[in-house]
Chain A
């Protein structure tokens, strides 16, 4: 759902109205307890920070979109921002970059004008705050970054698009168990990161090295076996991806569970990407067989074929979110409408719940195949959740495994 939009100049003056729109959104999306508190806090901090950067003279438009599983805060400002304001805003982005979608003409223009020098640096700002804290840890100036710190700690993703026409800030909060497990807590330990490609030798070496990595987690026999299986399944999936990929894989250990993290990168140029889009389109009717093949399908479709994402959402019950960073070169009209620039988050838990809801209605063998497939899948049996996020040319996958044995 989408909330009412509000345009504000002074935060305190319009706070009650903003709060009432937020409350209405929270009731309608059924965000309760901690979800309610986190989303309200994100909204308040985002508005405070945006106003502090943009300054009190300019107005900002705010609204909320999403549901109980994933909600987003939109903050839009019109009018050109100066270089310092732009850099301060961009520093909030999860990617660390301006997430605006470049058109072909933007790229040509930048070839002639070159990169602009940075006017404001997050590293310098943080160094300045550290220095102030050393001098007086209770000074208000030393805690100037409170809004920024809360946003960075509680948001799942922050996208910032800055252009000559203004700026759009999108703060996403994913309320799935996986996101809260692996995004808002510090791991007890993080293993060595194994970097590999989807070439046969590299795959084989990585699977071998995974044994040594898993030993460092100091898990019980059964838990270690589950993590090992997750490594094999994930590495195997990368092996089956079409095209050239590099990936990194590591595990974060938490108090009661482990999260195996897989990051897949592709550096495809425009021609190569178009080639893959054509390939992907030609086989769009081919059904993915097996649960990990479905995950692979999400990954490939997310990277290669922007246009099919919405179809995939319907097919696998994924959630479309306005990360505003995909399909940059595929469809130039996207840059005119950020709502179309869709990224993808897919969760096994949601998929499972959806299938569970359908199970009674599935009459034929063919219809019940996805559920049988899920029950047969190794990953589906050992993982508490699998979440796949696709943004630009990077895929992030988290496999959360509950630890069954005492640590």
Chain B
């Protein structure tokens, strides 16, 4: 189960993710992101309430970062320690902007 809340402020877009980003929910996030990021200059994923992320979710973030590099910036904020650990063990802390 993943809840995706969107907040648009001009060219800035924030996705607040809540729940699990896994094999089942990642395609939904990918579709939502692809539908919304045209012309966005600053994209933020607020991970405060994200409880779980698997490789399927990591791939969506990777693809999005690749797209955003061409048009602006992407930031991941407030990951829980368990989610942060996954970013660390996979080496994603080196390629994504996480605060």
Q: Give me the interface of A with B, judged by CB distance under 8 Å.
A: 11-12, 15-16, 19, 34, 37, 40-41, 44-45, 48, 137-140, 143, 146-147, 149-150, 153-154
Q: CB distance B55 to A140 under 8 Å?
A: no
With an 8 Å Cβ cutoff, the count of chain B residues facing the other chain is 21
Which residues of chain B are within 8 angstroms of A16 by Cβ–Cβ distance? 24
Chain B contact residues, CB within 8 Å of chain A:
22-24, 51-52, 54-56, 58-59, 62-63, 65-66, 69, 82, 86, 89-91, 95
Known: A15-B23, A37-B82, A138-B95. A45 touches B52 (CB 8 A): no
CB-based contact A146/B90 at 8 Å: yes
Instruction: Specify the chain A residue showing the minimal Cβ separation from B23.
Output: A15
* CB–CB B90/A149 < 8 A: yes
Bound: A155/B96 CA distance, A: 25
8 Å CB contact of B89 from A19, A34, A37, A149: A149
- Which secondary structure dominates where chain A touches chain B? helix
Task: Tell me the nearest residue of chain B to A16, going by C-beta.
Answer: B24
- Nearest residue (CB) in B for A154 is B89
Q: Is the interface of B mostly helix, strand, loop or mixed?
A: helix
Q: What is the CB-to-nearest-CB distance from A145 to chain B, in angstroms, rounded to a whole number? A: 9
The 8 closest A-B pairs by CB, nearest first: A146-B55, A153-B89, A138-B66, A44-B54, A147-B55, A37-B82, A15-B24, A149-B90
Tell me the smallest distance from the CB of A12 to a CB of chain B, in Å: 6
Q: Assess A37 versus B55: contact at CB under 8 Å? Given A11-B23, A149-B90, A150-B86.
A: no
Q: Are B89 and A138 in contact (CB under 8 A)?
A: no
The answer to whether B52 and A137 have CB atoms under 8 Å apart is no
Closest to A138 in B: B66
**Shortest beta-carbon distance from B53 to chain A in Å:** 8
Cβ of B63 and Cβ of A150 under 8 Å apart?
Answer: no
B32 CB, min distance to chain A CBs, angstroms: 18
Beta-carbon contact of A41 and B86 below 8 Å: yes
